[in-house]
Chains A and B, each alone.
Chain A
Amino acid sequence: MSAAEQLALFQSAEFILGVEGAVLVNLMVARRMPASGHRRARPVSAAHYYVSAPIGHDFTYLCAQPDYASHAVLAECDVVLPREVLQAFLDGC
């Protein structure tokens, strides 16, 4: 998707879920909404929180577990989000 397409998509969305990555910077144009990022258990970066907070998004993290075998650098590892964690989160929304 182009940058403009990403921005248009985020402007229209009411609820956004995703593993933390650069694309979440588009939250800056999203309308005020509950937004969420899955995130590995550690380290937790606050970067997208700081993008979301001034706009008033309801931003939260779901902690996932790193798949240590997937990458030598912890911050780049694939993650596993337990189904029950996602289920509980979605049921509460």
Chain B
Amino acid sequence: MGQEFKEVRESADILIVGGGIAGLVAAVSAKEKNPDASVIVVEKQVCGYGGKANKGGGVLQYFDLEHMKPEDFVEYHAHAVGCYLGDQETMKKYVAMNNEMIDRLEGWGVVIPKVKMPTGPMTFMFGIDLDSCIKMTAQCRKNGVKLFDKVTVSDLLTDNGKIAGAVGYSLLDGTFYVFQAKAVMLATGSQNYRVSEMWSNGRGDGIAAAYRAGAEMRNAEFGNFGQLFQKESFHECVFGENNMYNKLGENVTKNFRRFSESDISATAIREWYEQMSEGKGPIYLHIPKRGGAGGGGPMGDARPYGQAFWSLQNLGEEEMDQENEVVPGLVGEQSPIRVDGDMAASIPGLFAAGDSCYCGSGAPGAVPAPPGRNRGSGILNAVFAGIVGGESMAEFVKTAADVNVCEEQVAKLKADAYQPLNLEEGVTAVDVIDIVQEIMCPCENSIIMSQHRLDICLRKLEKAKALLGKIKANDFHEMLGAHEAEAMVLSCEMHLKAASMRHESRGWFLREDFPLMDNENWLKWIIVKNVDGEMTLTTEDVPIDKYPVKPLGPHS
């Protein structure tokens, strides 16, 4: 290695990677459950400001448990959203904890104006103010959690098949960090391929670290959330798919939806694609005045912090969008780290929470990470996984044996991390991400798929894979960019291979060549795993017999 860097060693019972809402909630929950446990949170940007919870609509799913039972929602969700691929037990646990989660958030200082707006047959949404992560960061400090900002974790450490910690580096000065820990949680967000603005920090580096360490991935093929955006301003069109018209003036929403819904569906993207293919595009929205998920109305007034953010988002854009032409935009949201109902991953000592493992938890079934189909489930699912995972880790470390750091492993992972800095010449991270985006962004490759196109994409991906190890970085920021680009190639490969395997359409997952749901052959999860450097894909039956809600027929 050409350059030597300062090295820092840290040790704790629990290491949480990611200082967004899931990681911060997990840290506070772990400390509340086991105050003796030492807890570190490492965030590659700044705790309280990174992540997505403070830049989105701030929509919080709410179940009125006085008028409905968790079982009612599980039944609706299995039929209409998860399409029988979901872990119904985890879903029930999530709904049952709704009121407790909201109470605990408020107890930690998070502002939740109780303005209730209906979003579905059984759900409402609350507006949460967008400083929730700042409040949670303050709570972490109060509870004695140690926080590191601008430090990114590049790989996990293992000790005889168990987790032993993680290594990473400072974005500011390249200091190398070795964290020894009995339990590690990845709260690193989903893979969003650096496409859309609000989600552009979801770059899959935590997912890639888990994959490299040998953790199982599940539901990687359900990771492509997309929705309609204004063509000129790129402003997202919340509820826009209820009002889609083609250039002949025909209402095309009625081709895929009988009545207005607040939920989002991949069928709207398919309708856009089919109308365009038939020469009946562009597609326009016939909508009144703009109203984003987070701006204006009663929610806006009740959320002073969020209002400052959202008031900027509409600046001048409405004038640009006079035509109201819409196009699909890929958001991404692949979230495949496999976890059980306690948020434990397949490697002992490894846990995950939030959008790194939403699909991997199995709970949502056949939809991408939130908004998936249910608006408002993103933050609350992260809170759920944070509480459950934080408390699981707090218990785990009470009895877990001490772990050893293998110096040989540290040296290898350090060399891997700094490799892009040591190249004399090479390509840029953007060169690689360009290829990945060309594959993933068109909706006909990621949302409405066919084997013919998936095969072309797999061949194209070889060009990106050939560039791995050749990305040159000039500083630590670019070094992170190189690692993120590698993570995007991995996520893309998991998507293409798992999507090629699933010969059916289910929920958000649509294939032109297999248009029907196939409950006889595909009530299965696809598990992706790194076995000695090879990506292996296997299937596992969904234990539908033990769940209360079952398919209605072979195709529904």
Q: Do A and B bind each other?
A: no
Please report A residues at the B interface, Cβ cutoff 8 Å. Answer: none
Please report B residues at the A interface, Cβ cutoff 8 Å. Answer: none
